Amino acid sequence: MKKLFKIFLAAGICIMTASCGNNDDFTESIFDTTTPVVDPDASTAPFDQWLYENFVVPYNTEIQYKFNLTASNMNFQLAPADYKKSQLLAHYIKYLFYDVYNLYGGEDFMKQYGPRIFHFIGSSAYSPTTGTETQGYASAGVKITLINVNNMKFWKEDSPYTATDMESLNKDQFHVMHHEFSHILHQTKSYPVSFGQVTPGTYAPRDWQERDSVLSHSLGYLTQYGSSANYEDFVETLSCTITDTDVRWMNTIIDACANGGVKDGDKEQIYELIENLGIEDFDNPNKAWNNFKLYEEEEQDENTKLWSATGRKIPSFHVSDAKLNATTTVRYTSVAGTFTSFRNFLDNWVEVNNTEDTAGINAILKKIDIAKKWYTENWGLDMYVIREEVRKRQNNINTYTKDNVTIYDYQ
């Protein structure tokens, strides 16, 4: 096979050389160039033309918003994406994703590294076998499938997006998008081996879904899914940094600090992290992280205790949402502490513990530092700057949508 390849390669060079030596005029194409790229008679022609001009021409990227059975995962019962919501999502992908990386990575960055296909699915992808919901997936670094498009709120001028709506969009779409895009980047330029050595003994490829968020944070992971493998942990670190809200970040920090304590120097780094994340009104007493309680949580099967915070303003941290397996029961026996200030909690309640068993926030800080350096050294990007730009655009989403988005009916 190698010899055949060399023969064909050499023959190709000879043919190209001979062709270059002739001053022949170009002849008419053997392909039909009279057929328009976008069918003007299609009921979706205006939107298809917009996609062609904004994705195909500049990035060679296709938005597959029409249901494609053969490209779907047959393990799930899936539904098509709503036509109008697909248009809205396509606009937001351009504004909140492509335009951001163009701004800081250069106009050729997404042309070279961006996904070649976005595939929209309307419904969720729930697995009754594992009890998990797939939020999206990528194929060979080329295609990103986005699930649950129909769950998007359809923007209207008299019903604009709220912070809660943006949080939902982040969870269902943009966290997944940055997660999968980070896979594309690290498959192009590998991330450091040292990242997987921060928490080498606690990855759980099969049982990660049995961990709730409190346990995951206490082990040094930003998400439950991140604890499934080091490469998922790496891209979750990047995606969470860019897309997680202030409240989610503070919840993560509190959980990670409360369980296992901190090591020398961690407290100073935590405040630096909060500043880098641009968390707004940090000392505002009306913020959720300045008004919370810690409950003692006992896992009877392991006879270990965790501290679980409630009274938060996001439902994922409510006691009733803890996901437990059949062999584990949890009891909330008493209130460990009531806090009206995060500073009081961190400076006076959290213990300094320099033993090898201390993971939690120390591991998270190390992973963020490794990911940030890799992001900058390999791509010339600062993930905190990307986060700030994304947040700024999200805050402007209603003005952008009103002034720049046209939603077409079927024609």
The tokens of 76 are what?
Answer: 């799930």
User: What is the pLDDT confidence band of residue 29, given thresholds at 50, 70 and 90?
Assistant: low
- Lowest-pLDDT range of 219-233, 261-275, 317-331: 317-331
In the chain, the amino acid numbered 298 is E
Q: Which of 111-115, 176-180, 213-217, 293-297 has the lowest mean pLDDT?
A: 293-297
Q: In the chain, what percentage of residues exceed pLDDT 70?
A: 76
The answer to which of 129-133, 148-152, 234-238, 265-269 has the lowest mean pLDDT is 129-133
Q: Contact, 233 vs 245, CB < 8 A?
A: no
Contact 168, 153 (CB under 8 A): yes
Helices marked H in 126-245: 163-169, 175-188, 193-196, 213-218, 230-243
| 131 pLDDT tier (thresholds 50, 70, 90) | low
pLDDT higher than 90, residue 160: yes
In this structure, what are the phi and psi dihedrals at residue 314, rounded to the nearest 5 degrees? -125, 140
Backbone angles phi, psi at 405, to 5 degrees: -110, 125
User: What are residue 189's phi and psi, to 5 degrees?
Assistant: -135, 110
- The residues, any chain, with a CB within 8 Å of residue 229's CB and separated by 6 or more, are 203, 205
Q: What is the pLDDT of residue 147?
A: 85
The pTM of the full predicted model, rounded to 2 decimals, is 0.82
Please state, in angstroms and rounded to a whole number, the distance separating the CA atoms of residues 387 and 397.
Answer: 15
- Mean per-residue pLDDT for 57-69? 88
Residue 316 has pLDDT above 50, yes or no: no
> Which residue did the predictor score with more confidence, 309 or 402?
402
Q: Is the pLDDT of residue 223 over 80?
A: yes
Residue 112 has which token pair?
A: 């070279």
- Average model confidence (pLDDT) across the chain: 82
pLDDT, residue 391, reads: 96
Check pLDDT > 60 for residue 97: yes
pLDDT for res 331: 47
| Cα(165)–Cα(161) distance, integer angstroms | 6
**Among 97, 39, 101, residue whose Cα is nearest residue 243:** 97
Q: Which are the contacts of 396, defined by CB distance < 8 A and separation ≥ 6?
A: none
pLDDT in tens, 120-129: 988 676 665 6
Strands of the sheet containing 304-310, edge to edge, are 304-310, 292-299, 330-339
- What's the rounded mean pLDDT across residues 237-255? 93
